[in-house]
Amino acid sequence: MTLFKRLYDWIDLRIGASEIVKKELTGYLLPRNINEWYSLGSVLLVIFALQVATGMLLMIYYIPDADKAFKSVTFIMNEVPFGWLIRLCHAVGSNLMIAVLLLHMLSTLIMNSYKSPRELNWVTGFILLTLAQGISLTGYLAPWSQLSFWATTVATNSASAIPVVGPYLVEFLRGGKLVGPATLGRFFAVHVAVLPVVIAAFIGFHLFLLKRTGVSTPPFGSIETDKRWKPESYSYQHHPGGIPFFPNYALQDATSITIYFAIFFAVVYFAPNLIFTPDAFVPANAFKTPPHIKPEWYFLANYQTLKIFPNELIGLTIQAVAMTLLALLPFLDRSPERHPLKRPLFLAGTIAGILVWLGLTIWGHYS
Amino acid sequence: MENEGRRKFLGACVAGVATCAAAAAAYPVYRYLSPIKGEQGAQKVVFAVAEVPDGEAKFFEYAGSSAVLVNSKAGLVALSAVCTHLGCIVQWEKDKQDFICPCHGGHYAADGTVTVGPPPKPLPKLPVVVAEGKITVG
């Protein structure tokens, strides 16, 4: 008997580990036609864990003080051994986290997995997307560069278009009339102490919902016997005759995570400047607005929408309506059909929405 | 049997790759957390002779630690100010012309030798040179 086996038996005797393994891993059956898109949730968990780990490491050297922040980031990049690696992992990771979140939501959208009884899974996922955007925005100010300073100025200023409370809201967000040391203090606190906890709580709730509803069956391939959800009583969606999570789907998760790391490290090592403009290497100057200041790529569509409409309130309202419609999609789309090809109107609407978003993003980039 | 052997081989390969990946991740983190070279403070400190009058002691940072220059009857001496017992910083008692460690009551003479208490060793001496009205430690 190997040492590992003896250790496992010792633990098993005390906490019934094999029962958990059977229930949650080898006996946890997934639909036979499950595809690789379902592994993006696991990829996102890894990304979040990596963001937390690198963020903790950065806090060792980073100084959240307007006079010292830029210097401390420069020190991390140039003086601390492997500081550049930790910082780039954090910065690139935040961008890829949004990208993978969008793909995760897109796959859920295309496969219509947001439908009953998974409305709450979709809504919590949507909230997680906005929280991830929030944590990226608050972290963006941390380096106190020209880019971060002015991008935050533009982003926080958007709130001024809200009638009545807008101007006060901007001042509240910034901790003053303009972006300044007070903004850095509150953004840093929100970035490291508030949002990570809230995100972790929502991830926990999202996973809890997944455990209670069961994994959805993809609408493609060999579909299991019709098991449409009936709103009479609670029922967990079992997949008898399905494939076990471990080792079968765990291997798919590992494959997707490996592919993610390949892309992630390719950007970190070979194209780190993909996410930095020259303004990111100049310390913040409150008296010098750099030309062509742009937000992060995932806010470019929002930025361009605000530019298209001369009235900022109309631009904001359109965005708010679009986001609300997307958040409430499971409650608006009541059709039980889940195959996108059998729903031409839905498919056309989805493709049009994606094209509009991509078009606005590209337009925003080149405008 | 053939499958069993292949499974073991693949398992060993996966474990090997995982170990390499863990080491590749751990090494940068270890280096990142290790004290940074060049951040250990000045290796040579210069004072004017007038800064350390007779019977006085001057505490200063030296090579990332605390040190003290004492000008007593025994002459000018530079010592580490870190108590050899449990690492507290010793304090100069001008009236008694000795050092006391407030943590556990260890006493050192002005030249760093232990007089009373738990310190196991004298305070380490640092190289000091006096020339042209300047004191150079280190």
**Residues B94-138: pLDDT tens digits?**
999 999 999 999 999 999 999 999 999 999 999 999 998 899 998
Instruction: Tell me which chain B residue has its CA closest to the CA of residue A84.
Output: B32
Say whether both B79 and B29 belong to one domain: no
B39 in any annotated domain: no
Contacts of B34 in chain A (CB under 8 A): 81
B28 touches A: beta carbon within 8 Å:
yes
User: Do B108 and B59 share a structural domain?
Assistant: yes
Number of domains forming the structure of chain B:
2
In-domain check, residue A223: no
Q: Does residue B75 share a domain with residue B132?
A: yes
Is the ipTM beyond the 0.90 threshold?
no
Span A327-350, pLDDT tens digits:
999 999 988 888 999 999 999 999
Put simply, whether A57 touches B (Cβ < 8 Å) is yes
> How much is the pLDDT for A128?
98
| Cα→Cα distances B72→A40, A83, B115, B120, Å | 72, 47, 16, 23
Same domain, B7 and B72: no
Same domain, B53 and B96: yes
For residue B30, give the amino acid letter: Y
Contact criterion met (CB below 8 Å) for B115 and B131: no
Instruction: Say if B84 falls within a structural domain.
Output: yes
Verify that B29 and B51 share a domain, yes or no: no
Query: What CATH number does residue A245 fall under?
Result: 1.20.810.10
Domain that holds residue A166: 35-217+240-366
In a domain, A119, yes or no: yes
**What is the domain count for chain A?**
1
Q: What per-residue confidence (pLDDT) applies to A272?
A: 93
In a domain, A18, yes or no: no
Same domain (yes/no): B82, B120:
yes
All residues of chain B having their beta carbon less than 8 Å from the beta carbon of residue A80 are: 32, 36
In the prediction, which pLDDT does A277 show? 87
B19 plus B56 within the same structural domain: no
* A79 touching B (Cβ < 8 Å): yes
Q: What does the pLDDT read at residue A201?
A: 98
Domain residues for the domain of B50 are 45-137
Which residues face B116 on adjacent strands? Answer: B107
Asked if the model's pLDDT at residue B40 lies above 70, the reply is no
Quick one: B72 and B125 in the same domain? yes
User: Which residues of chain A fall short of a pLDDT of 70?
Assistant: 1, 222-227
Average pLDDT score over chain A: 93
Can you give the CATH number for the domain in which B56 is found? 2.102.10.10
Instruction: Annotate B52-87 with DSSP letters as a single string.
Output: S-TT-EEEEEETTEEEEEEEETTEEEEEE-B-TTT-
Report, as an integer, the average pLDDT of B15-23: 95
Q: B56 and B30, same structural domain?
A: no
Each as own residue / partner, the long-range contacts of residues A39-42 (CB below 8 Å, 24 or more positions apart, any chain) are A39/A249, A39/A252, A39/A253, A39/A255, A39/A256, A39/A257, A40/A100, A40/A103, A40/A104, A40/A107, A40/A256, A41/A104, A41/A210, A42/A253, A42/A256, A42/A257
For A57, the closest of B32, B34, B38 (CB atoms) is: B32
Closest residue by Cα to residue A353 from A294, A301, A310? A301
Residue of A62, A82, A84, A258 to mutate, testing the B interface (most B Cβ within 10 Å of its Cβ) = A82
Query: Is any Cβ of chain B less than 8 angstroms from the Cβ of A60?
Result: yes
Cis check for the bond before A291: say yes or no (omega within 30 of 0): no
